[in-house]
Structures are given as C-alpha cells and as structure tokens.
C-alpha cells in the first residue's frame, strides 16, 4: 500500500522511525484487560500496538517491534459507519506487522476504557474521538488573565464523562498575585477534584503532577492555547519534546503550538496525551458529566417543591432561593442550563439521524 507522498516528505529527520526489537508493551499501558480482549485476534496471528500520532489517516503505532507507520485496512475502512470507529491517539489497535518495512496494517480497535469525544465540526452529527485509554485528565488553566471558571466547568464535564479522573492544574503561578482567591473559586465548583499549582519558570508543583505518572499510566492533558501544556510536558520529560510559543502580551492568549494529538512516552515512566488547544468544543455526550460537575445544582433541584420545576418562576424553587441568598452564583446556573440545552439539542439530532455522508468510507487515503 502506497503511503501519502506529502506525509512522507513532512516527517522530519529527527522523527525517522527506528525499529527496536522486543519492546515491553506494559510500559505503554498494556494490561490484562486489554490482553483478554486481544486473545481472539492473537490466536489468528495478529499483533497489537498503541497509536501515538495520527496524520490524516496515517498512524504512527508503538508495537513490540518498535514504532511503525500504519494504515487502516480496506475492509475496516469500508465497514466503518463513522469517525468514532477509526483509531485515535491512545487506542490499542489490532495490526499485521511488516517489520522489514517499518509498516503495518490496522484491522481493528480494541474496546476503549476511557475516551474524550466531541461532535465533529460543521453540521454533521458525528463523534470525533480526541484521545483514548487514559487514567487521569489534567485540565490545565493559566492563572493570568485567561483564567475562566466557566470554561473549566466545561472541561470538567468532558473529563467526568470520559471515564478518567480529573485533576485541575493552574499554571503560571509566577504571574498571579491572588492565587488563593482563584483556588477558592474552583473549590466551589469542583468539590473533591485535586487542584495543583505549578510554575514551569520556577519549577513549582511538578512533583505533585508526577505522582499521576507511573509505569504504564497515561495522562491526558486538556486546555486552551497558551496555558503552558507544551512547557509542562517538556519539563516532565526533562527535554524539549514539543515546540513552545510565547503568549501575546496584549491579551494573555496563546498561539496554537500543538497542531495534532500525540502520545508522549516519558523516560522515567508514564505517558502523556497532548491535544491541540481547544477554547470551545461541542460535546458529544455529557449527561453523567453534568451531574458530576454540577452536583450542587442537581441536589438543590431535588429540594424544589415541584418535581417538574423549571427553576424559573415556580414557588418553592430551591435553585432560585439559592441564587437569591448568594449560595449559588447566577453565572454557574446559566452555565449549567447552557450545557443542558446543548446535550438535549444533540440528543434530538442523534435520534433524527442527522449526519452527512461518511467521507472516508470506501476511499483510499492516497486518492484525495
């Protein structure tokens, strides 16, 4: 199968694939649960690998033979019904290896233990997998003028829905004079969620992050552009793996430095999935995530006089009482309502089957 010529030309010299024999897949997160799911494929002579980078339908996959370039099989491509069935960074995939070529063919994706999903851009109602098979979610937000509680709520909803354990990381502590106030704002909306304060410039808080990175453990990082995700990964890795760009001085916003999702393997153990900065995203599923993130509002709703209370003008509304007495912020309630509306809207579209033609189905990646 011929690889896309543009992709081959874009692989930098320092990214050339080196075949390393007898890799221990456990260091990449392989465990007994995945082994059990793989038994049937193993009996048929297939191998397994983990996706580290996706380049427009061409994948870089870690296998027992080292890192190889892989493409999806024609059968898998034809039988797919949506993007959610294709491999994502962090996925364990069933492959047939061609080690003498440093290449492989992907035949399937093993069931995911966790995943980030969002609706694809545009009008189509289709799932896009951002990352898969992680243990912890680091929600990174800078302590400069870009700090936004409502945005963190949205990331929290996504994190709880994913199946990973969320941890809030507040970066650039050296640029903030009122850290305690901002932490208190998050304590009110993220009860029980660990909050780590870091400064890459000062080396502060990195050991606290490292405790989530053990042998074979995977951490996924979410956050807007310019919050310091790439700098954090470089510091944890002990070398400059990812490019870093300065924030704009006029508005404290950053430029996109990560242009694609990738899995970074750390020398001292642990793996990190980096994602491009996402200021806004359209969630794919969120009912459970909303319940977790807005547990205080859900609990108040149970105390309303009427079971079908809309929390507007009804007498005995515990939610409105909480807003009036100041124990619940109006902005938090509005954030809750906004997410609820988005989820209902998307669910209605799913039921109606609003979806465009699947562009990848039946097409060769070399004929675009």
With a CB cutoff of 8 Å and minimum separation 6, the contacts of 119 are: 125, 126, 127, 128, 282, 283, 284, 346
Task: Give the DSSP letter of residue 219.
Answer: E
228 is an annotated ligand-binding site residue: yes
Q: Is position 171 annotated in a ligand binding site?
A: yes
Q: Is 223 annotated as a binding residue?
A: yes
Tokens standing for 216? Answer: 């074979």
> 227 a known binding residue?
yes
200 is in an annotated binding site: no
256 is in an annotated binding site: no
Q: Is residue 335 annotated as involved in ligand binding?
A: no
Angle between helical axes of 179-189 and 149-162 (0-180°, round to 10): 50
Query: Which of 130, 68, 84, 365 minimizes the C-alpha distance to 260?
Result: 130
Residue 225 counted as an annotated binding residue: yes
* CA–CA distance, 103 with 44 (Å, rounded to integer): 19
To the question of whether residue 230 is assigned a binding role by annotation, the answer is yes
| Residue 317 among known ligand-binding residues | yes
What is the Cα–Cα distance from 286 to 339, expressed in whole angstroms?
8
Beta strands, E only, 39-119: 47-55, 58-63, 66-72, 92-98, 103-109, 115-119
Q: Is 322 annotated as a binding residue?
A: no
123: left (phi over 0), alpha (psi -120 to 50) or beta: alpha
Annotated binding site: 171-174, 223-231, 304, 309, 311, 317
Annotated binding site for GTP: 171-174, 223-231
Annotated binding site for Zn(2+): 304, 309, 311, 317
């Amino acid at each position: 199968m011929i690889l896309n010529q543009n992709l081959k030309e874009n692989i930098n010299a320092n990214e050339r694939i080196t075949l390393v024999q007898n890799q221990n897949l456990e260091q990449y997160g392989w465990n007994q649960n995945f082994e059990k799911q793989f038994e049937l494929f193993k009996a048929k002579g297939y191998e397994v690998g983990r996706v580290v980078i996706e380049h427009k339908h061409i994948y870089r996959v870690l296998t027992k033979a080292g890192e190889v370039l892989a493409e999806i099989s024609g059968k898998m491509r034809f039988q797919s019904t949506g993007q959610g069935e294709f491999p994502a960074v962090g996925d364990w995939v069933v492959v047939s290896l061609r080690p003498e070529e440093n290449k492989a063919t992907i035949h399937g994706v093993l069931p995911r233990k966790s995943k980030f999903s969002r609706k694809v851009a545009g009008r189509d109602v289709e799932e896009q997998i951002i990352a898969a098979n992680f243990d912890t979610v680091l929600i990174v937000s800078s302590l400069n003028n870009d700090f936004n509680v409502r945005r963190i709520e949205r990331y929290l909803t996504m994190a709880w829905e994913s199946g990973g354990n969320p941890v809030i990381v507040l970066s650039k502590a050296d640029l903030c004079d009122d850290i305690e106030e901002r932490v208190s704002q998050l304590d009110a909306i993220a009860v029980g969620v660990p909050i780590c304060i870091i400064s890459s410039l000062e080396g502060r808080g990195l050991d606290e992050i490292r405790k989530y990175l053990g042998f074979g453990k995977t951490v996924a990082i979410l956050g807007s552009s310019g919050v310091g995700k790439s700098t954090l990964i470089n510091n944890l890795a002990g070398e400059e793996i990812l490019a870093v760009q300065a924030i704009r001085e006029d508005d404290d916003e950053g430029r996109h430095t990560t242009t694609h999702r990738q899995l970074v393997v750390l020398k001292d153990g642990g793996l990190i999935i980096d994602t491009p900065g996402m200021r806004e995203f359209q969630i794919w599923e969120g009912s459970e995530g909303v319940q977790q993130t807005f547990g205080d509002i859900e609990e108040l709703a149970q105390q309303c006089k009427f079971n079908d209370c809309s929390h507007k003008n009804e007498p005995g509304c515990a939610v409105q009482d909480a807003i009036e007495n100041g124990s619940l912020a109006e902005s938090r309630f509005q954030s809750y309502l906004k997410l609820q509306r988005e989820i209902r809207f998307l669910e209605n579209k799913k039921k109606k089957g609003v979806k465009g033609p699947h562009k990848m189905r039946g097409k060769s990646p070399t004929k675009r």
